[in-house]
Amino acid sequence: MNITPSPTEKVQVHESAHLHVAGTAVYVDDIAERQGTLHAAFGLSACAHGKILSMDFSNVISAAGVVKVLTAGNIAGENNCGPIIHDDPILADGTVHYFGQPVFIVVAQTHDLARRAAVMARIEYAPLPPTFSTRDAAEKCQFVVPPIHKQRGDAAQAIKSAPRKISGHFEVGGQEQFYLEGQISYAIPVENKGMQVFCSTQHPSEMQHHIAHCLNIPFNQVTVETRRMGGAFGGKESQSAIFACAAAIAANACAAPVKLRPDRDDDMLITGKRHDFNYDFEAGFDATGRLLGVKFSLISRAGYSADLSGPVAARALCHVDNAYYLSAVDVRVMAARTNTQSNTAFRGFGGPQGALAIEYVLDTIAHELGLDALEVRRVNFYDEADKLDKRCTTHYDMTVEDFPLRDMLAKLEASSDYWARRAEISAFNDSHGVLRRGLALTPVKFGISFNVNHYNQAGALVQIYTDGTVLVNHGGTEMGQGLHTKIMQIVAQEFGLTLDAVRITATDTAKVPNTSATAASSGTDLNGKAAQNAAQKIKARLSEFAQVKYGFGDLRFADGYAHIGDNQVSFKYFITAAYQARVQLWSDGFYATPKIHWNRDMISGRPFYYFAYGLAATEVVVDTLTGEYKCLRVDILHDAGTSINPALDIGQIEGGFIQGMGWLTTEELVWNKDGKLMTHAPSTYKIPTVNDCPKDFRVALYDQPNREDTILKSKAVGEPPLLLAFSAFFAIRDAISYGQKNAAPLSAPATPEAVLRAYTAALAQTAQEL
């Protein structure tokens, strides 16, 4: 029985759904262990910044089941797992830089014994002064990469001469990825000094490289395999490396298979999160709310090492415009070095933090002018490329060629009944003292492609067996997003087959080499095109074969048949015949994204192949006595181009929205005065639960083909929906700013405490003005 609402054949359930529900989908920790498997755990720094004076492992070594203790000195090759800049030691080497940094590896007979032994070391530190505040770091010019700065026009002058101006400050917190399956690697020594590693990672190729470097062996002796991850969200792009490397180092040292699976608390203490950002802004505008000039200064928390903080800063900079034309703009982004976890990729990769800046400014301007924030947003929208006034170029000189947001907004305004609800909410707020309702409608424009050109390539292998079944392998990884399902659909469509004739195997560096991370929403765009390319190469050979064998070259595959001229034979029969005629029934495929170019020094070019768009209208109710709130209704219209699989795309949109809402509301990272992360488990770090999902949650796709030649005219959908959650944050701000002189000084995460604080401050300001 299929009760899926939409009957279209594009709607296919996730290729592993039947395994997920039965508990038979195999994750790394479920792989049957080889004989003699040992288990590793990290010993973590209990000091945020300090020189290691001494390390006494006598208690560790004598603990039950312990086989070995390894430190930086035991690493044969390079002690680094930093993806770009090599400033990220696998094990601390003389100095610790954050509370929770791995200092040593203990290998024991069981997972439990390794964990228990790991806390028994006696390590003495000579403390060095730590830096925890990003403002302090910026003042001391402690940056992990040089700050970046981009100007267009004379923003300072434009603001100065503008009829109205505002300036201010706000913050947005970081966010733990909270993949349900924690980090894990299982390393197995193989013959002739090789190493095979099963790793929960978005980036098997980079894991391969790091493992080879730390073991001091060539790339061709390391294979990394990933069948699926139990969630990743960016957290397993670069930061799976420390676990992959440590497992490989331990396996090499013990000449035995070694599994490393940190406990949730250790995972959260060790790994980086979404960067929190600190913002200063100045803006000049006219009476309609149109921006005349805007200046931003953004400081991100990079943590103790560079990791991906440079590219995150670049993406933040490229998204401070969000959906708006900025005529005169000055934006500076700094990646502050602090003695905390090294922050990393997380769905959106700086884009959400960049776009939030302009949304905050426009929201504040609207309150200042007494206008509806939606009107201020609309008046600042980009125009499409063919408009005469040329309000269609981004501050990094890319032309916005398509801009469907005006059309999408008209549709969502109507379907969400925005204006009638706005009136009703005002009436409610006028007649209620304690509860306040708020509504916000915010847009998303998100650039699709890696900001680094050479990452925008992908490979695939398609193999047809003589029984007519197809096996596909490609460089992308499955983390729940349904990438494999979409690739199966693409290949099945090429051969006119149903999905049950197509199978995808684990991502494996031994099959498709030199892959990019499955990141930047690019998985289907890149790997889908590569798989299609491979299938089409096989089809070209089969056409030649049909010409020779049947005298017809117009070969077409549909419904499980090869249609040759007016004849048709079953796919299996046709394939067997081709095999017997010695036709190569497998092929590689390759894809490199066209059109893109980027001058990193000038911050100029076309870093994105295209933009994905979306809009969300969210209504909340806030208790002004406690700051508690509830999301009442959400309406979303999102642009996924021509959707390859609407069910999967809607899943990404709904999931991205709720995840983004968590970031901006209940998810709060708290460090104590010693720099220890205190919110390191779900008991203390609160991601959304089932009751946070609004009862009225309407999601629709804006079903228009991508103007660019993407795979089946679709658009990437992984990251952009996260930004739709801005509407939840601004709806809360709208509620507590109602009737106040100034917009409430609300920062994110808008925990009940933050909401009550901002509301109380707004009340006080209003009282002062009277």
Partner 1 sequence: MGKRANKRTPKRRGYATLSTVLLAPIAEPFEITPPTVLPTVAPLSQIHFYLNGKAIQLAQVASTQTVLQYLREDAHLCGTKEGCAEGDCGACTVMIGDVATNQAGTASAINLRTVNACIQFVATLHGKALYTVEALGGAHPAQLAMVDCHGAQCGFCTPGFVMSLCHLYDQNSAPSDAEVRAALTGSLCRCTGYKPIIAAGLNMARYPKVAFNTALTGTLAPAIEHPANTEPAANAFYSPTTLRELHQLKAAHPTATVLAGGTDVGLWVNKQFRQLGHVIYVGNVENFAKITEHLSHFEIGAGASLAATYAALAPHYPQMNQMWERFASPPIRHAGTIGGNIANGSPIGDSMPAFIALGATVRVSSARGSRVLALEDLYRSYQVKNMAPDEVVERIFVPLLTTIAKLAYRFRVYKISKRFDSDISAVCMAIAMSVEQGVIKQVRIGMGGMSGVPQRAPHLEQALLLYAFTGETFENAKAALALDFQPLSDLRATAQYRLQVAQNLLTRFYLECENPQDETSLDVANFQL
Among 13, 128, 379, 499, binds partner 1 (CB under 8 A): 13
User: Minimum distance between the CB of residue 732 and partner 1, rounded to whole angstroms?
Assistant: 11
Q: Per-residue b/e over 460-495, b at no fewer than 16 CB within 10 Å?
A: bbbbbeeebbbebbbbbbbbbbbbbbbbbbbbbbbb
659 binds partner 1 (CB under 8 A): yes
Which positions from 111 through 170 interact with partner 1, judged by CB under 8 A?
Answer: 111-112, 115-116, 119
Catalytic residue chosen out of the listed positions 176, 225, 359, 719: 719
DSSP state of 383: P
Nearer to partner 1, 89 or 348 (CB): 348
User: Minimum distance between the CB of residue 738 and partner 1, rounded to whole angstroms?
Assistant: 15
770 binds partner 1 (CB under 8 A): no
The number of beta carbons lying within 10 Å of the beta carbon of residue 762 is 23
Segment contacting partner 1 (CB under 8 A): 300-308, 363-371, 642-650, 740-748? 642-650
User: Minimum distance between the CB of residue 432 and partner 1, rounded to whole angstroms?
Assistant: 7
Which positions from 478 through 517 interact with partner 1, judged by CB under 8 A?
Answer: 479-482
The number of beta carbons lying within 10 Å of the beta carbon of residue 124 is 12
Segment contacting partner 1 (CB under 8 A): 20-28, 129-137, 167-175, 579-587? 20-28
Neighbour-count burial of 74, counting CB atoms closer than 10 A to its CB (0-12 exposed, 13-18 middle, 19+ buried): middle
User: Minimum distance between the CB of residue 544 and partner 1, rounded to whole angstroms?
Assistant: 41
648 binds partner 1 (CB under 8 A): yes
CA 3/CA 107 separation, integer angstroms: 49
SS percent in the chain: helix, strand, coil, step 5: 35, 25, 40
User: Minimum distance between the CB of residue 4 and partner 1, rounded to whole angstroms?
Assistant: 5
Nearer to partner 1, 32 or 287 (CB): 32
- Residues 440-479, one symbol each (x = binds partner 1 by CB under 8 A, - = not), give ---------------------------------------x
Among 99, 143, 574, 629, binds partner 1 (CB under 8 A): 629
Identify whether the C-beta of residue 743 lies closer than 8 Å to the C-beta of residue 737: yes
697 binds partner 1 (CB under 8 A): yes
Q: Where are the beta strands (DSSP E) in 153-241?
A: 164-172, 185-190, 194-199, 222-226
CA 422/CA 757 separation, integer angstroms: 25
171 binds partner 1 (CB under 8 A): no
Segment contacting partner 1 (CB under 8 A): 41-49, 329-337, 428-436, 492-500? 428-436
CA 311/CA 343 separation, integer angstroms: 12
Active site annotation includes 544:
no
Among 96, 258, 405, 622, binds partner 1 (CB under 8 A): 622
Give me the numbers of helices (H) and strands (E) for the chain, helices first please.
20, 29
Segment contacting partner 1 (CB under 8 A): 1-9, 371-379, 546-554, 555-563? 1-9
668 binds partner 1 (CB under 8 A): yes
626 binds partner 1 (CB under 8 A): yes
User: Minimum distance between the CB of residue 638 and partner 1, rounded to whole angstroms?
Assistant: 13
Nearer to partner 1, 535 or 620 (CB): 620
CA 85 to chain centroid: 21
Nearer to partner 1, 159 or 444 (CB): 444
Which positions from 259 through 288 interact with partner 1, judged by CB under 8 A?
Answer: 263-265
Which positions from 28 through 47 interact with partner 1, judged by CB under 8 A?
Answer: 29-30, 32
Nearer to partner 1, 176 or 368 (CB): 176
64 binds partner 1 (CB under 8 A): no
Identify whether the C-beta of residue 196 lies closer than 8 Å to the C-beta of residue 447: no
**Cβ-based neighbours of 586, under 8 Å, separated by 6 or more:** 461, 462, 463, 464, 538
580 binds partner 1 (CB under 8 A): no
CA 731/CA 736 separation, integer angstroms: 9
Among 375, 674, 703, 753, binds partner 1 (CB under 8 A): 753
CA 418/CA 635 separation, integer angstroms: 10
Which positions from 517 through 546 interact with partner 1, judged by CB under 8 A?
Answer: none
Among 678, 703, 709, 764, binds partner 1 (CB under 8 A): 678
User: Minimum distance between the CB of residue 727 and partner 1, rounded to whole angstroms?
Assistant: 14
Identify whether the C-beta of residue 503 lies closer than 8 Å to the C-beta of residue 471: yes
Nearer to partner 1, 417 or 709 (CB): 417
CA 648/CA 651 separation, integer angstroms: 5
Nearer to partner 1, 189 or 749 (CB): 749
Among 493, 666, 706, 737, binds partner 1 (CB under 8 A): 666
**Cβ-based neighbours of 382, under 8 Å, separated by 6 or more:** 323, 324, 325, 391, 392, 400, 403, 405, 445
**Cβ-based neighbours of 422, under 8 Å, separated by 6 or more:** 372, 439
Which positions from 355 through 394 interact with partner 1, judged by CB under 8 A?
Answer: none
Element (H, E) at 422: helix 418-431
Residue type, 544: E
Which positions from 172 through 231 interact with partner 1, judged by CB under 8 A?
Answer: 177-182, 228-231
**Cβ-based neighbours of 179, under 8 Å, separated by 6 or more:** 229, 230, 231, 232, 233, 235, 236, 479
Nearer to partner 1, 276 or 494 (CB): 276
651 binds partner 1 (CB under 8 A): yes
Angle at alpha carbon of residue 679, lines to 661 and 246, rounded to 5° = 105
Segment contacting partner 1 (CB under 8 A): 9-17, 279-287, 376-384, 465-473? 9-17
2 binds partner 1 (CB under 8 A): yes
Which ranges of 292-380 would DSSP assign to H, the alpha helix? Answer: 309-318, 351-369, 373-380
User: Minimum distance between the CB of residue 402 and partner 1, rounded to whole angstroms?
Assistant: 27
Segment contacting partner 1 (CB under 8 A): 164-172, 385-393, 400-408, 627-635? 627-635
Identify whether the C-beta of residue 745 lies closer than 8 Å to the C-beta of residue 755: no
Nearer to partner 1, 202 or 493 (CB): 202
From residue 83, how far is each of 272, 348, 464 by CA, in Å?
13, 18, 36
Q: Which residues pair with 620 in a beta bridge?
A: 438, 631
User: Is the alpha carbon torsion for 618, 381, 233, 483 positive or negative?
Assistant: positive
How many amino acids of this chain bind partner 1 (CB under 8 A)?
97
Query: Cα-flanking dihedrals φ and ψ of residue 766, to 5°?
Result: -65, -45
Nearer to partner 1, 43 or 627 (CB): 627
3-state secondary structure 467-489: CCCEEEEECCCCCCCCHHHHHHH
Among 307, 654, 708, 719, binds partner 1 (CB under 8 A): 654
What's the token pair of residue 508?
Answer: 């494996």
Among 696, 703, 705, 707, binds partner 1 (CB under 8 A): 696
CA 560/CA 583 separation, integer angstroms: 19
Among 619, 639, 719, 734, binds partner 1 (CB under 8 A): 619
Segment contacting partner 1 (CB under 8 A): 108-116, 366-374, 514-522, 532-540? 108-116
77 binds partner 1 (CB under 8 A): no
Q: Which residue in 109, 89, 77, 108 sits closest to 45, CA to CA?
A: 89
Catalytic residues: 719
